[in-house]
Structure 1
Amino acid sequence: MAVGCLAAATTACGAGETGDPAPSASEPSAEATASGTPTTDPSDPEDDMLIRITIGEERFTATLEDSAAADDLLAQLPVTIDMTDHGGVEKTGPLPSPLALDGQPDGADPDVGDLGYYAPGNDLVLYYGDQSYFPGIVVLGQLDGDAAARIARLDGTVTASVEAG
């Protein structure tokens, strides 16, 4: 899904060079606001899969995959989660309710920058380091930009506010 958006954005950026009309100033933009958070078009269906995460002064976005678990997460938002650091690779904290596991494998090997769910603990997980395959992990989506590196710099326990984008 994100690759398609990147391709579309790249094509749109070059539109003026090929003689095609450039987007008008009234069209939605993916430019960042002064806070560094990308602006979004509320009518864009892809925006339904975007969440915002705030930890202290740090603000991140993540793009959710299309799954029953991601839909359940969206239904619980907004939520504030106390997150603990585990092994220097992830921050985890309990969600109010379990997420649906329909169509999910028994486990996953998340990548650095993945947003996940650990079903046995009912935890939302922000992966900023390399976690190997483990039963019960569900990848919900990906943290955007340099979020994983920025989360890695946050020491110890943190409080995260998570809301629909």
Structure 2
Amino acid sequence: MTTTHSATPTTESENMTAITIEFDGREVHGTLADNATARSLLAQLPLTLSFSDYGGQEKIARLSQPLSTDGAAAASDAPAWTIGYYVPNQALVLYYDDVGQFNGIVPIGTYDTAGDAITRLSEFTATIRKTS
């Protein structure tokens, strides 16, 4: 069996989509993975959502439309700086602390640590858009 290799290998970053999260006069940059759930969110952007703190480890905002979970694991871990979809609540989640593994968490991307401003606000409204 012959294996061929591309002259320019594809890296994970080439398959990710850049996004901007705007809130409270700030911009936080992130990337969305190339999976069905992230693509489903991308199709809804731009979105303006109201986030609130949950458990001192994440900010959560309910989405008006569910995201696809095709191919997603039933349970996943969400380390700090993960963008996730929490299936049971149909919510977009910005994790700022590691919550461990739970059923219903679908990681869909990451955001940069400049997002630490997110941790200081108990509630905020953010607009999420694809970065051009």
- Is 1:156 the counterpart of 2:115? The answer is no
**1:114-153, aligned counterparts within 5 Å?**
114-144=82-112, 146-153=113-120
Q: How many residues align?
A: 121
The higher relative CO (CA closer than 8 Å, separation ≥ 6) is in 2
* TM-score normalised by L of structure 2: 0.84
Shift of 1:4: 6.2
**C-alpha separation in 2, matches of 1:4 and 1:95:** 27
Note if contact 2:28-2:115 (Cα within 8 Å) is conserved in structure 1. Answer: no
Note if contact 2:47-2:127 (Cα within 8 Å) is conserved in structure 1. Answer: yes
Bigger helix share:
1
Question: Which of these two proteins has the greater Rg computed from alpha carbons?
Answer: 1
SS, match of residue 43 in structure 2: helix
Output one character per residue of 1:97-143: Cα deviation in whole Å (capped at 9) or x when no partner. Answer: 11111110001110100000001111000001121211101000111
Output one character per residue of 1:46-90: Cα deviation in whole Å (capped at 9) or x when no partner. Answer: 5x7111101111211111111010100000001110111001100
**C-alpha separation in 2, matches of 1:147 and 1:138:** 22
**C-alpha separation in 2, matches of 1:138 and 1:4:** 18
- The aligned residue for residue 90 of structure 1 is 58
Note if contact 2:49-2:127 (Cα within 8 Å) is conserved in structure 1. Answer: yes
How large is the Cα RMSD of the aligned pairs? 1.7
- Is 1:108 the counterpart of 2:76? The answer is yes
Runs of 4 or more, structure 1, over 2 Å off, are 147-150
Note if contact 1:55-1:158 (Cα within 8 Å) is conserved in structure 2. Answer: yes
Shift of 1:156: 1.0
**C-alpha separation in 1, matches of 2:50 and 2:57:** 16
SS, match of residue 104 in structure 1: coil
Bigger strand share:
2
- Is 1:51 the counterpart of 2:15? The answer is no
Taking every aligned residue pair, what percent have the same amino acid on both sides? 38
**C-alpha separation in 1, matches of 2:107 and 2:55:** 18
SS, match of residue 117 in structure 2: helix
Q: Kindly tell me: are residues 4 and 107 of structure 1, through their superposed partners in 2, closer, same or farther at Cα, counting changes over 3 Å? A: closer
